[in-house]
Each structure stands twice: as structure tokens, then as C-alpha cells.
Amino acid sequence: MNKPKLHLIAPAGSCATFFKRLNLETNDAFVDFVQRAVGDSLEVTADAGLLAPKEADELGGRSDDLLRAADIQNAMADPDVRAIVTVRGGAWFTRILPHIDFDVLLTRTSPVAFFGFSELTPMVNIVGAYEMGIGLYDMGPAFLTYGLLRYASHHPDAPSEARDHPPDWTRKHLKPECESFFRDVVNMLAGKPTVRTIRADLLMGDGPGADEVRMVGGNLTVLSAVIGSRYDRFVRPRGHWLMLEDFNDKIERFDRFLSHLTLANYWDECAGILLGDFHWGENDQRASMMALLQYHLPASWVNPVLATTDVGHTWPLSPLPLHAALHWRREEGGRFALAWDPKTTAMLG
């Protein structure tokens, strides 16, 4: 039997700057770094040449669309690949969706997990909708360069060392936190519960009960791009909860994206909303987003709306399985925690 694989991809933005911040001189050095972090239970693979290509915004960003699509499709088709981890989001991904044949997942006899967020929103939803796929809305580790610095700069729980010297603290913790992320990935693949639990506060409606819930959604901007497309069926709520998050944009633009959901009748089919992190710089935009929702939700809306800072472009950040069976658990103080059977993500053994 072949050793199960964890395949690294970078189908959106280039990881060149991230690798430099890790003091890694080559793309292969990053693959080796991840291999040390995950240990012997998985073989770490990658098309190293696709991890840190040159980008030119004025020339369409990247010029390797077909290669990036083939890398993903080949990984999904490989029965030995148990997890595909996106190293970085950023840009340039959504346009390559038509070049990927997701039906290769129909021929798999073993499940595969896909980790990604932000620009990878469509991919996580699509993979999670297949019987042999589990889509985990979870950070690409390159996000740590932003997430750690923002945490150190303004988070009320940041230690004094972080608040006094945010760049130094970020550099110090970048490698350890990257290693911690990959160790948690391995734990989830082994059927162990993640330590990164999603907790949320009730903003509207009655608190969710103990019934099973399922979620779709992700980054509001990217989600809006696929509404009405051939991929709409993978992200449309249809009795599921809708999770939304985004960052560093004007509220008026978020209103336009919410309008796309309104005009597409998403709210009529939605069982609940999980409002993830919304911010611009150091400004928390969640109150503004909740105000916007009042104009978009139907007058008959009675379903729960919960808010969390554990999902989105934030750190610490927690994984969210899309299309999978989940349960809300009420905790002391009126908060809710999202839980799922650890077997949901078990790809090893």
C-alpha cells in the first residue's frame, strides 16, 4: 500500500514573499519544511514550480491557468492523495474553475479533504458537496503573515510583547504557527478533534437547537462571482446555513454583493446565517454588516443569525467543514459552539 499523500497547491496568489519570510530559499525547501511538520504519517507532495511563480497585475496576474487547473484535478484523481492544502489565496483562481473536471471525485473510493479559504471559496464548497470530498474552510498558511501582524497590532488579548513590537513578534511566531497549522491538519485527518473551535454569539432570531445543520458560503466577494453560474448549486443554501466573511472593502460594495444574494433569492432558502469576521484595517465592520442585512433579509425572516470572529481573515482562525453535518452546542454565558464528529475529517487509517 502506498503512503497517503498531502498535496500542496498554490492556484491563486504566488507564495514567493511568504517563503522569503520563512527564510526558505527554494520552493522545494517549503515542501521539506511541511514534511517535517506533518511527520511520517503522510508524504508531502507538490508541483513546486507552481508554488511561487512571478505575478504581473498588468498582464493578468498569472499565465499558467491550465497548469494550475491540472495540478488540482490530478490531485483530486490520485487515490493516494488524502488532503489538498492551499498554501495561499489572494487572486487569479476563480477564472480557472471551468478548466477543472470535478467529476473525477466520482471515481474515488477513498475520501479527500480540501483545505482553503477566501479566493478558494468556490473550490471548498464544490469539493464538500461530493460524497468523497470534504471541504474545510480553513486558512492557507501564507495568511499568517497578515493574520499574526493584525493580531499583534490591535487584538485585546495580544501579549504585551506583541503590542510593543508587532513585526518582531510576527516574525518570531510565523514558523511555529505554520507548523502548528499543519499538525492540526494531520490531527483532523487522523479523526481527532481540532483544538480550534468556532464560538458565536446570537444576533437575531431564536438560538439554534440541537438539530443537525449544514453550511455553505465563504468570502462574500468571491461567493458573489459564482452566483447564477454552473457552480451556483454548490453554494446555494437550500436548507443550509450561509456563512459570510470578508475584509478590507467598503460597506457600499458589500451592500452590492449582498444584493446579488437577495436578487438570487438566497435568503428564502437559507436556514440560518453565520456572520464571520468583517473588518477594514483595525475597524470592525460586523455591526455595519448586520445593519445591511436588515435591508436584505425578508420581512418574514425568523431564522437565527450568529456572529463569530473565529472564521474569516482573522487570527486565531478555526476550520469550518462545508456541506458536512454540524451541531450547535450552547455554552455558559449564552454563547454557542460549533461541533462535528471528528470522523467527518478522518482520511487516514
What is the C-alpha separation between 136 and 111, in angstroms, rounded? 13
Q: Please report, for the domain that includes residue 202, its CATH number.
A: 3.50.30.60
Question: 236 and 108: one domain?
Answer: no
Question: 138 and 205: one domain?
Answer: no
Question: 48 and 94: one domain?
Answer: yes
Three-class secondary structure of residue 236 per DSSP: coil
Strand order in the sheet with 5-9: 43-46, 5-9, 81-86, 112-116, 133-137, 320-322
Question: 36 and 182: one domain?
Answer: yes
Question: 185 and 248: one domain?
Answer: no
Q: Is 303 exposed, middle or buried (0-12, 13-18, 19+ CB in 10 A)?
A: middle
Last residue of a domain, one of 189, 218, 249: 189
What is the C-alpha separation between 70 and 67, in angstroms, rounded? 5
Count of structural domains, the chain: 2
Whole-number pLDDT of residue 334: 86
Question: 230 and 134: one domain?
Answer: no
Question: 240 and 302: one domain?
Answer: yes
pLDDT > 90? residue 333: no
More confident residue, 332 or 66: 66
Question: 184 and 242: one domain?
Answer: no
Q: What is the mean pLDDT of residues 268-273?
A: 96
Range of the domain at 255: 198-345
**pLDDT tens digits, one per residue of 4-29:** 999 999 999 999 999 999 999 999 99
Residue 161 maps to a domain = no
**pLDDT tens digits, one per residue of 46-62:** 999 999 999 999 999 99
Q: What is the mean pLDDT of residues 144-173?
A: 95
**pLDDT tens digits, one per residue of 277-311:** 999 998 999 999 999 999 999 999 999 999 999 99
Residue 78 maps to a domain = yes
Q: What is the mean pLDDT of residues 137-165?
A: 95
Question: 180 and 282: one domain?
Answer: no
Which residue, 226, 234, 237, 232, is CA-closest to 267? Answer: 237
Could you tell me what percent of the chain has a pLDDT over 90?
A: 95
Residue 155 maps to a domain = no
Question: 269 and 340: one domain?
Answer: yes
Residue 152 maps to a domain = no
pLDDT > 90? residue 1: no
Whole-number pLDDT of residue 124: 98
Whole-number pLDDT of residue 349: 65
Question: 231 and 184: one domain?
Answer: no
Q: Please report, for the domain that includes residue 121, its CATH number.
A: 3.40.50.10740
What is the C-alpha separation between 104 and 193, in angstroms, rounded? 29
Residue 84 maps to a domain = yes
pTM of the model: 0.97
Last residue of a domain, one of 131, 159, 189: 189
Residue 153 maps to a domain = no
Question: 49 and 182: one domain?
Answer: yes
- Supply the mean pLDDT for the chain: 96
What is the C-alpha separation between 275 and 218, in angstroms, rounded? 10
Residue 128 maps to a domain = yes
74, 105 contact by CB (below 8 A):
no
Residue 167 maps to a domain = no
Last residue of a domain, one of 189, 221, 255: 189
Q: From the CA atom positions of the chain, what is the Rg in Å? A: 19
